[in-house]
Structure 1
Amino acid sequence: MAELVKKYDVHANQITDWKKQLLSGAPDVFGKGAQKAEASEETVEQLHAKIGRLTMENDFLERGLERIHGPRGKKW
């Protein structure tokens, strides 16, 4: 501990805190947590694709309404 404190010029409590964080979070980083991150990335990609499709459909329908009711649309 003393070597690390001297080498990196940090307080011993900071090194102890970092060690606790590493030990508590290591399984998530190197284990199942990494798999969860990959699954969430896949979900985000699927949602972005769905947003793109819905945007295209919305634009298509809006252009169709403009043809029927003119550029200002029908006022109810």
Structure 2
Amino acid sequence: MDGRGRWLDNVFIERLWRSMKYECVSLHAFETGSELRVGLTKWITHYNGQRPHAALAGRTPDEAYHDVPMPSGPGLTPDQRANSSAVRMAA
């Protein structure tokens, strides 16, 4: 992690760990490692497949990764979405 541009990689990972900590681990009192594994698996599935992300223009990470077209509707216009630096960085 000491190469050029590596700080940007670290930003995304730190954000993921922060979200996991506040949205899953801190809210549940897991008694065993097995319970923790099941809880984290459910949270990661929700995070990647169901939870929209502002940095991805309201898409889920699965939609952005698999390049699913963004639905039209309230929020950013298609031109704004196409020019969004966050969408370009995530893709």
TM-score, structure 1 as length reference? 0.32
Mark the structure with the bigger radius of gyration: 1
RCO higher in 1 or 2 (8 Å CA, sep ≥ 6)?
Answer: 2
TM-score, structure 2 as length reference? 0.27
Instruction: Name the structure with the higher helix share.
Output: 1
